[in-house]
Amino acid sequence: MMADHNISNNNIVLEVKNLYKRFGDNRVLNGFNLKLYQGENLVVMGKSGSGKSVMIKCLVGLMEADSGSISVMHHDITKLNQQALDVLRADIGFLFQGSALYDSMTVRENLEFPLRRHSRKNKAKLDTETQVVAALESVGLAHAIDLMPAELSGGMKRRVALARTLILQPKIILYDEPTSGLDPITAKEIIILMQDVQKKYKTSSLIITHDVDCARVISDRILLLIDGVDYAVGTYKALSTSEDPKIKAFFKQ
Ligand SMILES: Nc1ncnc2c1ncn2[C@@H]1O[C@H](COP(=O)(O)OP(=O)(O)OP(=O)(O)O)[C@@H](O)[C@H]1O
C-alpha cells in the first residue's frame, strides 16, 4: 500500500494534463487529467468505448493527442527528442492484452529478447541466465524456463509476459485488462502476483480493468473515465459508496 506521504507533487511519476483527442466528431478525450504517484496502484475504469485504450496509446506514443501534456518523471514526453524518449520509455513496462509471447521461442528466449534490445538497462551487469531465472522466480515459474508457450496455460502465459516486463526493471508498469479472459481463480492469482511484484520492485502501476474485484483488491486509488474526463478519483471505499448515479453504475454488482 502506498503511504500517504507519497501523495505530494514531488512524487508524481506520470502526469497527464488536459489531454484532448477526437476522431472527427467523436470527442473521446475532452480535457483528461491523471496523476500517478510513486509506489501506488492507480486503477482506471471506464465503460466500453470511453477512451481507455486511446488514453493508454497516447501514453506510450502509439497515438498522438490533439493537445495536452504527458510527463514521465517530470519530463514532458511530447517535447522530447527520440533518443531521450527511448531512455525514458525503458522505464515503463507494459502488460497489454496483445503482448503475446513469441510462439516459436521458448520461455527463456522470450525473456532474453527484451534484454538484447535494451542492453544498456542491464545496470547490474548480471549475466542473462541469472536475470531470466530471477524474473521467472518472481512469478513462480522458474521450472517452466525451457517450455514452449503452447505448453503453458493462460494464467502461466500471463505470468511469463509479466516476467518479461519485469526483467527490464521498469519504474512504471501499465497493465491493460490484466485479468481479462482468465477464470476467477486464475484472475485472483494474477492480482496477488501484481501485488507481490509491486512490493518487491516498488513499481508504480496504472491498471486498466473492468474487473471490480480486481479494482477493490489492488487499487490505492481509482480514477473513473467518464465523458472524456477524469470524472472522479478516490479510494475504492469512497467511490463505491458514492451517491452519484454515474459513479454508482460502476460498483453495483
Ligand atoms: N484509430 C481510431 N480511429 C477512429 N476512432 C477510434 C480509433 N481508436 C479508437 N476510436 C474511438 O475512440 C473511442 C474510444 O475507444 P477505446 O478503444 O479507447 O475505448 P475503451 O474504453 O478502451 O473500450 P473497451 O473497454 O471496449 O476496450 C471509441 O468510440 C472508438 O470508436
Distance 26 CA to ligand 1 centre (A): 10
Q: What is the CATH number assigned to the segment(s) 12-241?
A: 3.40.50.300
Categorise residue 83: left if φ over 0, alpha if ψ from -120 to 50, beta otherwise.
alpha
pLDDT mean across residues, the chain: 88
Cell of 104: 516459436
Residues 181 and 154 sit within 8 Å (Cβ to Cβ): yes
CA–CA gap between residue 13 and residue 36 (Å, rounded): 6
CA–CA gap between residue 5 and residue 224 (Å, rounded): 23
Of 54, 66, 225, 226, the residue with max ligand 1 atoms within 8 A of its CB, to mutate for a pocket test, comes to 54
**Where would I find the beta strands (DSSP E) of 38-79?**
41-45, 67-72, 75-76
Distance 176 CA to ligand 1 centre (A): 14
Q: What is the CA radius of gyration of the chain?
A: 18
For 222-237, what is the mean pLDDT? 97
pLDDT in tens, 174-221: 999 888 888 889 889 989 989 988 888 889 999 999 889 899 999 999
Backbone angles phi, psi at 116, to 5 degrees: -70, -40
CA proximity to 208, closest of 56, 30, 27: 56
Categorise residue 227: left if φ over 0, alpha if ψ from -120 to 50, beta otherwise.
left
pLDDT in tens, 45-76: 999 999 999 999 888 888 899 999 999 888 88
- Rank 79-88, 125-134, 238-247 by mean pLDDT and report only the highest: 238-247
Protein residues whose CB sits closer than 6 Å to any atom of ligand 1: 23, 26, 28, 46, 48-54
Q: Check residue 5 and give its pLDDT.
A: 54
Q: Is 124 exposed, middle or buried (0-12, 13-18, 19+ CB in 10 A)?
A: exposed
Q: How high is the ipTM of this complex?
A: 0.97
pLDDT in tens, 86-128: 777 778 888 877 667 999 999 999 999 888 776 655 555 678 8
Strand partners, 145: none
Least confident of 4-8, 81-85, 129-133, 223-227: 4-8
